[in-house]
A and B are shown apart, each in its own frame.
Chain A
């Protein structure tokens, strides 16, 4: 084995002779706590954070300016037209909701499946979920014509004495996304309580102590607390698990239950879920890589974690590719000429450029992850993550816009072009997302300290040096600690 300075960080070997550790660098409980909580409490906020925050806050400002302009003027400020009644707003909505999938998947499903490696990244992924859902939630709210009565979509008593139309998938959306946002938030917060208590205990400033004190809900780490906590966490994980599948299934119903060729396909629910997980993991990776770099978390969020994520991306990307192929097959095999045309038009019509961007980014490039070298290379994976983000946005664009732009009667066909307001609103939503991410990094524990500790060898009651790294008695020699445990 090579013994370069960074080599010990590579825990991706599949050699069965060696146990691969999740947390590297010989960290113990103290060092984990210090590494994570110092980012919030002790370390000086880096200048780069301020620079980035200024940029993202500026973009957020633009988002709200655009929304204000939209509210004052009308939906016409966007590029929508008669056949294309849904454009970037809905594309962005589906895109952000999709991003939000990785969090719950990592937190809940991997938790139930006892995938220990999740602990290093779940906090981050959950936070990202919340922020993505916030970004997503904005769009259906602002895209309606009369935004001042958008609350009529909720089944609450109103002067019209009417229920909303329960047959409408948009209403299902309201419930699905609403439930998802609520459960995700609860899950995230519940999991954070022990860590918030840690911050409370370590905080030096009065204000910090009060805020973290309130947020940690009087956590003292007693057995009773832990007992309740773990029960609650398990229940929430159980609740969240079906939601991972349901949210995007329901979002896909917006399209699938409509009769528009290109929307009206039964494959949508699983295809959307796979795509959502795909895009969610890519987004987690996109942000995680710089974060672990900047904040010295490489030992906690190790290459092994990233490689696992890449495997999931490879799997879901292939599922998405399979879904694309199936759509085409069914469009031909189904014998419905209008549907057949919708797909031919996608690939060769006026929106072919968008279609081929989508195929390239979602199907072709993720296949590079078959190669271990590429899937463990930080620069390669980061570029591919960006590609997946682009591809998945275009997938929603292709589905939404290309289908609408050419439907049944050729007389109403039209081409859709976004306006500057569309573009700035979308950029603004990125600003909001990153603003929230930056605030999260700065003020909350970005790694689940308590959970990470549970997967460390020393958390094992039977642990002892013998069980860990071999034949040493007493402390592990420094050179072994540094080089890993060959």
Chain B
């Protein structure tokens, strides 16, 4: 802290204002640490403290290296109180680094968006990055350095300081230079971390490095090593592909460059531009990629390797595709696989399609698939001439690390004296058969650097609170090789430190802080020397540019074609037959809590799964026919028994799940979670063993007789026949779809779907819109249902989280939701997705019925909600045909702690109990753009000046917003596209949000065989 006298004066006066002992107590601490104010704090006091922390935080957040703090009495250059600023940084999750822009409001980071300057993001983000800002304010994050003597002596541990740890380190680590140090790290791409790790290897003789990542991409790397002799990152040029085959890859969501893939996939699927790819998906559970597929083949996960071999056999033996140079398989190897049942009946048609599109096709395998499968995929891409066209590779050096099984072995042998664990939570998420928690205690000294005082920390003598990524300096490496910056926006709220700072204690004579480590790393990567030069203006300029852009310009590498090495590929074992007695267990990471790290993230917990619409829980996903055969139904609690391990979990019946394949998601049932995650879901790690990380055949499912309440945001109750039939009848008119051929022949086909009605006339004079006329267009052909818009809206508009019970009652608050319908055969359905938010109807039914005129029509056509006029009759919601209005049944913000409130966006009203709310088209952004345009010479707002939060974050640009009065605006043009239609147009409500029908591109050979329900109506 600075000792400037002005600063003291400032605080003193604030103290007088606050005039409370609580405030003084807080003041004595480091400020941010004192933010966690008691819940009974008055609003006034809260605001004062918030003001104080904001003042401080801004300074910590700016990119000035001097770590000083100043009052706003001397406003730092370039800052305006109340004006948000954006900083480029990088969100890292395992080995995937995502460049983001973090918005800071008076020093509080409140929102994460994609960094548009970096192609990996292109301005879009996924749900995890967006929700990570909430994790910063998680009041259950560890706030103290904790010391425990040994396991079990004290669950809470004794509080200590960083100085205590420093003292301990000085005494402890030097004697490990002779051996006995083991470091277990979670996966990271940070060159700074790897540099420090490398130096540990140099300085500590016999030191061993291990990694553990429960959601691991190692198979992809090993597959590349098998095929090319080197690990490589696949760079997918999805937009160039005409035919894409996805084997359990979910490349729109789970691939390391999924955002780029999503954008490119959508780009390759715009029927108006003439380019329309075709997607085939083999998968066992319904993913968003499966939802986008033209042909989806529900296949048990354990049958997928066989399906790849069957395809290879069909291509090589059936279609005569020559094997490339250095192929690891021969024609005879493939002999037995042709026509294998795992490939399904359409494999020949698929092979023909691939042959017809050589050089413009793309095969992808998922991270759960074996290295051999990946290698075969590489081989096939090579054979089809796709390498260099739709796929290229970036070889890289991968540090040789032991995995957690190796570490367990070493621990058990007593070789480890001191175990340093960097991040992760292996005591919870290590394979269950290893008994890692028990093995850990063989190490004499155990240190865990972690965001939470979690299960692993509780087994360690030292728990060191880790700085959130928005609190510390660092660096990262993107999937395309680009070098990315990690910079803090706020001083650590709870006194945490980065991993690099802890490592520096071990290897540096004078420990460097994270800033210095990051700068030194930058110096190395940018070629400025081994460490950051002092007083070098050129370097300084480059560094500033780096942290301004968030990326080192020109560091992204181009992919290159790699040659096959000819290493023979072992054929997979022929998959066994699955049955109700021997099911397949398929273990996935979760799309809400990932591997459990977001278990305490309320936004993600309440975000409905894109397919199941399940919130707050995981479940065992079964196909309808499997469920019938097993005699279980939705919400039945069942015991899963796999490899001698047992876990109870409720059943969710998911149409489209592969028969006899039971999918469970990791990351729930976390015993060490904080208040938010407490009691959510069931721990699937208990079924996970090192031999079968992703499950396998041999699962037994038995009914316990108990039931469990699952909270979903759609289909709140089991659908009866009357309702189910009506959905099948109604959905083709709501989520309109057509085939490419149909669209080309009859571009106006959408007009024939849905309810036929006479010309619509209004009873009274309609509104005039002389200025702007805001409108939105949603392209259902681009939307893949990734949920990013939901979290984007949540962060932007202060959407309340209501909890599982309220969701189960149907009281979720999301302003934008994704409607998901299944059409056709329940075992192999089509999936229809549709984002729905307030459509700002011109003849709005809500406005008519409000008795107090709390929802009004603006001159630009918004249905504005006047919160402070609303008395809460809910009549507007009853009369809303889209049911997009949300009511505050309780005071939803009552239970937020002062820390949690820091994430709220000050531009958006926090709604009180008893008022209605709904999408505003981000009216705060409209007004901001209006002010900016007025300041900028009183000009008109230009197309693109306003981007609502949902549109901003959408990786596929499915949502476009603009002025309908401007014929040149993108949205006005999109409305003229023939496949544009209005939802429920026959009600004559004239919605401002229109949709563009989804166009499918089925393979005529297969489509003729199966038909599909989307085009039946009309």
Contacts and interface: CB of A to CB of B under 8 A. Distances in A.
Interface of A: 73-76, 79-86, 143-147, 149-150, 152-153, 160, 162-165, 167-171, 174, 254, 257-260, 336-338, 341, 344-345, 348-350, 404, 406-415
Given A85-B874, A410-B726, A79 B809 contact: yes
B445 interface: no
B850 to A, nearest CB: 6
Contacts of A174: 851
Contacts of A144: 871-873, 914
A85 B916 CA distance: 11
A220 to B, nearest CB: 47
Contact of B913 (A146, A152, A341): A146
A166 to B, nearest CB: 9
Interface in B687-717: 714-717
> Which 5 residue pairs across A and B have the least CB separation, nearest first?
A145-B872, A145-B914, A76-B889, A81-B810, A85-B874
Contacts of A407: 881, 883
B984 interface: yes
A446 B871 CA distance: 40
Contacts of B853: 162-165
A172 to B, nearest CB: 9
B914 A146 contact: yes
A240 B313 CA distance: 88
Contact of A415 (B716, B881, B890): B716
Contact of A168 (B731, B875, B914): B875
Contacts of A160: 869
A484 B879 CA distance: 60
Contacts of A350: 717, 720, 723
Interface string B889-907: 1110000000000000000
B845 A258 contact: yes
Which residue among A84, A143, A162, A168 has the maximum number of chain B CB atoms within 10 Å of its CB?
Answer: A168
A74 B889 contact: yes
B987 interface: yes
A258 B720 CA distance: 26
Nearest to A145: B872
Contacts of B845: 258-259
24 contacts: A74-B914, A76-B806, A80-B874, A81-B811, A82-B883, A82-B887, A144-B871, A145-B872, A145-B873, A145-B913, A145-B915, A145-B916, A168-B850, A170-B875, A258-B849, A259-B879, A345-B723, A407-B881, A407-B883, A408-B883, A409-B883, A411-B714, A411-B836, A412-B882
Contacts of B852: 152-153, 164-165
A79 B889 CA distance: 10
A411 B819 contact: yes
A145 B874 contact: yes
B630 interface: no
B655 to A, nearest CB: 14
B915 A85 contact: no
A150 B887 CA distance: 16
B438 interface: no
Contact of A76 (B715, B882, B890): B890
Contacts of A336: 755
Contacts of A406: 723
B889 A75 contact: yes
A411 B821 contact: yes
A169 B845 CA distance: 12
Contacts of A404: 878
B727 interface: yes
B93 interface: no
Given A258-B845, A409-B984, 20 more contacts: A74-B888, A74-B890, A76-B806, A80-B889, A81-B809, A82-B877, A86-B875, A145-B914, A152-B852, A153-B871, A167-B849, A170-B875, A257-B849, A348-B722, A349-B723, A408-B882, A410-B727, A411-B834, A411-B836, A412-B882
Contact of A409 (B722, B871, B882): B882
Contact of A146 (B726, B812, B819, B915): B915
Given A74-B891, A146-B913, A411-B821, A344 B879 contact: no
A170 B873 contact: yes
A348 B720 CA distance: 9
A473 to B, nearest CB: 69
Given A174-B851, A348-B722, A350-B723, A337 B984 contact: no
Interface string B822-849: 0000000000001010000000010011
Nearest to B881: A408
B872 A170 contact: no
Contacts of A162: 853, 869
B872 to A, nearest CB: 2
Contact of A150 (B723, B806, B871, B984): B871
Contacts of B729: 337
A344 B722 contact: yes
A350 B719 CA distance: 9
A413 B731 CA distance: 13
Interface in B720-734: 720, 722-723, 726-727, 729-731, 734
A118 to B, nearest CB: 36
Interface string B849-886: 11111000000000000000111111101110111001
Nearest to A406: B723
Nearest to B882: A409
A338 B734 CA distance: 12
A444 to B, nearest CB: 35
Given A408-B984, A414-B810, A259 B871 contact: no
B912 interface: yes
A260 B915 contact: no
Given A258-B878, A349-B723, A82 B851 contact: no
Nearest to B874: A85
Interface string B791-818: 0000000000000001001111000010
A419 B83 CA distance: 46
Contacts of B889: 74-76, 80
Given A338-B755, A410-B821, A411-B821, A349 B720 contact: yes
A46 B819 CA distance: 63
A152 B845 CA distance: 21
A411 B912 CA distance: 27
Interface string B252-295: 00000000000000000000000000000000000000000000
Contacts of A169: 849
Contacts of A80: 874, 887, 889
Nearest to A263: B878
Given A162-B853, A170-B849, A409-B883, A86 B836 contact: no
B917 to A, nearest CB: 11
Nearest to A408: B881
B820 interface: yes
Contacts of A79: 809
Contacts of B874: 75, 80, 85-86, 145
Given A164-B852, A258-B879, A409-B734, A82 B810 contact: yes
A82 B722 CA distance: 21
B984 A146 contact: no
Contacts of A257: 848-849
B851 A165 contact: yes
A165 B914 CA distance: 19
Nearest to B808: A81
A85 B714 CA distance: 17
B871 A152 contact: yes
Contacts of B883: 82-83, 407-409, 412
Nearest to B884: A412
B634 to A, nearest CB: 14
A76 B915 CA distance: 12
A144 B914 CA distance: 7
Contacts of B726: 341, 344-345, 410
A168 B851 contact: yes
Contacts of A147: 914
Contacts of B912: 146
A149 B722 contact: no
